[in-house]
Amino acid sequence: MEERIRDILTIWAGKILDYAHRDYYELVRFYYHKRVEAFLTHAEVNLAARRPIVDDRQLDPAYQQIEQSFVTTPFAVAPHERYAGGPMQAVCEILARHRLSNFEQAQLPTETFGPNDTP
């Protein structure tokens, strides 16, 4: 069951890449982070060789391996790496880390919008 859920969240049985994009911690850490690393490594190598920076045909095998590994490999997150705080604490930590002034914080939107609402 867990494998099927991961498949649905990412590769949709190999048919539609990133169909159900989500920002779950596990997706970001174990899937998107590895894809970005593969892309950057690929771009660095091609840039150094004075070739076009991105060649999807060269990236496809690495992406497929990352996708299949994400779907089939259980997550291994050490307890000390798990975030223990709640959403409000996370927001406060992010704001503190990025040093937003009180004025900037006051400018942040506080409303939430549904799928049929417009800002």
Per residue in 19-48, pLDDT (tens digit) is 555 557 778 888 889 999 999 999 899 888
Higher pLDDT, 10 or 81: 81
Distance CA 50, CA 54 (A): 11
**Band of residue 13 on the pLDDT scale cut at 50, 70, 90:** low
Residue where the block lists tokens 């970001």 = 28
Per residue in 63-113, pLDDT (tens digit) is 999 999 988 888 777 787 777 887 788 777 877 777 767 787 777 766 655
Would you mind telling me the total number of residues written for the chain in this entry?
A: 119
Any idea where the domains of the chain sit in the sequence?
A: 2-77
| Interacting residues of 95 by C-beta distance below 8 A, sequence separation 6+ | 105
